[in-house]
Amino acid sequence: FHCQSTSDAIRICLATPEIKNIKEILAANNHTFTVHADPNFPVDRIATRDPLGNEVFFTPHVNTFSIPSSPEIKPVRVEQEPASGRFDLSNGPAQKNIGILTSGGDAQGMNPCVRAVVRMAIARRCRPFFIYEGYQGLVDGGDKIKEATWSDVSGFLTLGGTMIGTARCKAFREIEGRRTGVYNLIKHGIDALVVIGGDGSLTGADRLRAEWPDHVAALEKTGRISKRDADKYRTLMIVGMVGSIDNDLASTDMTIGACSALERICESVDAILSTAMSHQRAFVVEVMGRHCGWLALNAAISTGADYLFIPEAPPKADWEESMCKTLKASRDAGKRTSLVIVAEGALDRNLNPIKPDYIKDILSTRLGYDTRVTILGHVQRGGAPAHFDRFLGTMQGAEAIEAILRATPDTPSPVIGMLENKITTQPLKEAIELTGQVAQAIEAKDFSRAMALRSVSFAKQLTSYKEIANFNPDSKMKLPEDKRLRIAILHAGAPAGGMNTATRSAVRLCINRGHTPLGVHNGFPGLMRGEISELDWLSVDGWTIAGGSKLGTNRDQPTPQLGAVAYQLQKHNVQALMVIGGFEAFTAVLDLARNRSQYPAFNIPMVLVPATVSNNVPGTEFSLGSDTASNVIVRSTDMIKQSASSNRRRVFVIEVQGGNCGFLAVMAGLSGGSTTVYTPEEGVDLTRLQRDITHLRTRYIKELGRSEGRVTLCNENASKIYSTEMIAKIYEAESGGFYGARTSVLGHLQQGGTPSPLDRCRANTMAVDSINWLQSRCWEAMEVPNEDNIRLPSDQLKRKYFPQVYSSSPDTAAVIGVLGSEVRFTPIKDLVAHTDFGRRVPRTIWWGASRQLVDILSGVGVDIENGGCTTEYKTCAIDLTADDLMRLYGQHRRLSKLNVNVP
């Protein structure tokens, strides 16, 4: 006998050998029941209900997992008093009925966004509705509009495209078509609409809202709706989210789908380069981007392309000759391949299209290169979404529900975006108008205005790409002899994706400007031993896509042998030092800066480029390698969940890296659909474990025979007592036989592999900005004041007796950080107060808002059947007004609202 109490009723399971007799008794009394074949026994099983509505199952053996829910018996929906602490404490009807549609071109990340909208709506006691096939489904109505349940979106995180469909709809462009759509919404009781699509789709949604009162009045007048319905549905709330692989919304740094499309491009081009190198071929690759060159630019940076064409920055009139000269210089330097990336909307300055076949003819006829054209096409839209698109879609989907619930009839329709690494709500109309201005500026040949309407980093990325893309032995960038520097580059700490990409960008920029880049091999021990060599252009050619550390790295500190470090710096005349690494690199640079008074060789500009999968370096929101590691964890989680789902009754506890920082566990947990996550910041105790076990048991009982696989992510240092293995054993011991638990330790997989495109782009930005910063600080330190008439203490030398570059200022030892979309240099001494050296983490974290969403979207604390939630979630979106957007893009001023929290 087994009895389970649920929010609906009671489920009773009876094991008895008298199945045949029970069947006859039920049939004789005309009692409704269903019969189910048992795969392991020749005797059937029976499902029915008692007079109180409780589900009753008869089985010939004690094995509750094989008892099916009867499709003939509908569960009784019972309204219950919600528990204290839920979002909505009322016992009334749903707060909102929310329609969800995807429209326009599909984009990876739409499905995670739909999942978040559906589940957050249920947690907020709203009723979500799928509108299939976009606006066409809205016009067609009928079975194209269907209430969505929690389980309907299971598995959505891993799927590309859009599972609820998208289609072009001519009828919606006409007023009668839109009026029919309004009728269908009212018919289903829908009073809010979430639209995920491009600028055209969002414009259509905003137009529908503006016309809504007129449509309602017309429908009432013609008798298609009652006066009661007309009064009830006087207004419609619209929230938009941009699903576009082009990343072409002017008022957001990233759109849903752009990161995944970039990943598809880089995977394809990385593969193309290997065959190109074998035959010494040139390839012209066309990528998507009709009015926006974001994909092309970032793909060029991520793959080391030799030349680039984008619509916002057309080439000069003689671009054919310039391109041939540039590519020939690289070939003359020893490079075996040539790669040109062109956006599909690329133009010259007279607005004539630049097509791949024309570029191919130029390279073939003028240079004699064996040239091929590859048009990637719709492969860019396909495949599973990358980690960042899952994260972005999930966060924006959750905030879309929050925006609906706090809106009033007078609130302008918002679009959910991202600026400065913060989720924002912006007025949809103004955001779309800004986007339209890009195409208008290009059409008017105002290319500087088109560039200004892009994100802050776009123009900087383009400038840096042009500086490092090609070998320029006679470049105008070459500096005077007295301005040229000897810059050492060193890796420290554990390997991380992007270390080699940053090194390549720094080396190539140095060479083009006339500086001497010095590679320090094997970290600080290598520096002590003098393992220093000059790096040349060709030696770093393939480092863009190389994982790990080509220079070699380790965790050793310089402190035991500071004298040896100083000796080698002086011996090799190192005038600036770039250290790429994690927390070990942070403490190493801090030690060098603190010992400047003892070792004059340390009085040179030094910069730390954060690179660690743990993302625990103070002074930055993102470290190189953290996105690559997150992608590895998410892909591994997808495969492990597939295994767990096949078994239908298994939970995996997956251990991830991160040291004492829970960043990886939280980010990958949110993107991978983890049931919960255990982090060092929260710790693990019996109360927490009991809560999670109760949740797991409840879900596996309710999903009897049709359960999905589940995973839990556990940071390696989440608890000193409750290890990953112990948590799994406790899970299984307390499962009541409803599920089993296994462990998986991902280990050093997270530090290896090809760097993700985001890490490659960040590495390039950080490296170029670091060289610029070191260069300017060195030049400042070269200035020698006139000290002829100055008397100094006997133990102090005059500046002219020191090396050419000499600076003891604390500001010349810094950490470069990505803060929002801004790159900032923070003196390392200023970060000491903001660092927990015992735990090796910054004292402030920016990703805390994501933590509770992991639990909510997996159903922890959520009444999945009736709606409501006991898990607290605090909205993190920043509301921007039309005036804010004007200040950002019209006057190019920063907003205090978007100020970062990291020092």
Residues with a known catalytic role: 246
Q: Angle 167-172-174 (CA atoms, 0-180°, nearest 5)?
A: 145
Q: What are residue 533's phi and psi, to 5 degrees?
A: -140, 155
Evaluate whether 371 touches 360 at the Cβ level (below 8 Å).
yes
Token output for 164: 């609820």
- Residues with Cβ within 8 Å of 470's Cβ and at least 6 positions away in sequence, in order, are 306, 307, 326, 327, 329, 330
Strands (E) located in 592-632: 606-610
What's the alpha-carbon Rg for the chain, to the nearest Å?
Answer: 31
Whole-angstrom distance, CA of residue 282 vs CA of residue 750 = 34
Q: Which amino acid is at 426?
A: Q
- Grouping H, G, I as helix, E, B as strand and the rest as coil, residue 2 is strand
Q: Which residue has the tokens 């071929």?
A: 281
- Grouping H, G, I as helix, E, B as strand and the rest as coil, residue 613 is coil
Largest interatomic CA distance in the chain: 118
Whole-angstrom distance, CA of residue 47 vs CA of residue 73 = 8
Whole-angstrom distance, CA of residue 367 vs CA of residue 361 = 10
Q: Which one, of 716, 705, 783, lies nearest residue 739 by Cα?
A: 705
What does the DSSP 8-state code read for residue 896? Answer: G
Whole-angstrom distance, CA of residue 528 vs CA of residue 214 = 78
Token output for 810: 């604390």
- Grouping H, G, I as helix, E, B as strand and the rest as coil, residue 343 is strand
Three-state SS for 514-573 is CCEEEEECCHHHHHHHCCEEECCCHHHHHHHHCCCCCCCCCCCCCHHHHHHHHHHHHHCC
- Residues with Cβ within 8 Å of 300's Cβ and at least 6 positions away in sequence, in order, are 308, 341, 465, 469
- Residues with Cβ within 8 Å of 842's Cβ and at least 6 positions away in sequence, in order, are 616, 617, 618, 619, 831, 834, 835, 836, 902
